[in-house]
Amino acid sequence: MMRPFEPAYSQEAVEAMLAADSRKRTRARTLVLQLCRTPGREGDYQAVDRNGQVWEVALIDGMIVTYRTDHAVRELRIATIEWVE
């Protein structure tokens, strides 16, 4: 059985989670775990950072999540989490 992907949060994503209320935090954690179970999921669009890395940007359940899959270490790297009001 393959080892599941694990979330790896950037400092910016951690700070967004800590600043959110408990309901939003729970929703975000649930969403990230769902993305870990389907690491190949494409976002609504892609963004390229200054290092040339491609990030998926997804609007899901009132949140914008920027992430990329690192297959070598089986991590889903979460760059940003933003809530859409």
Instruction: Say if 42 falls within a structural domain.
Output: yes
Q: Tell me whether residue 70 is in a domain.
A: yes
In-domain check, residue 1: no
Q: Which residue has the tokens 């950072």?
A: 49
**Number of domains into which the chain is organized:** 1
> Does some domain include residue 30?
yes
Q: Residues 80, 84, 85, CA angle at the centre, nearest 5°?
A: 145
Average pLDDT for residues 46-66, to the nearest whole number?
A: 95
Do the domain assignments include residue 23?
yes
Q: Percentage of the chain surpassing pLDDT 90?
A: 88
In a domain, 41, yes or no: yes
Q: Which domain holds residue 33?
A: 6-83
- Give residue-wise pLDDT tens across range 17-55: 999 999 999 999 999 999 999 988 999 999 999 999 999
**Contact predicate 13/79, CB 8 Å:** yes
CATH number at residue 17: 3.30.2310.20
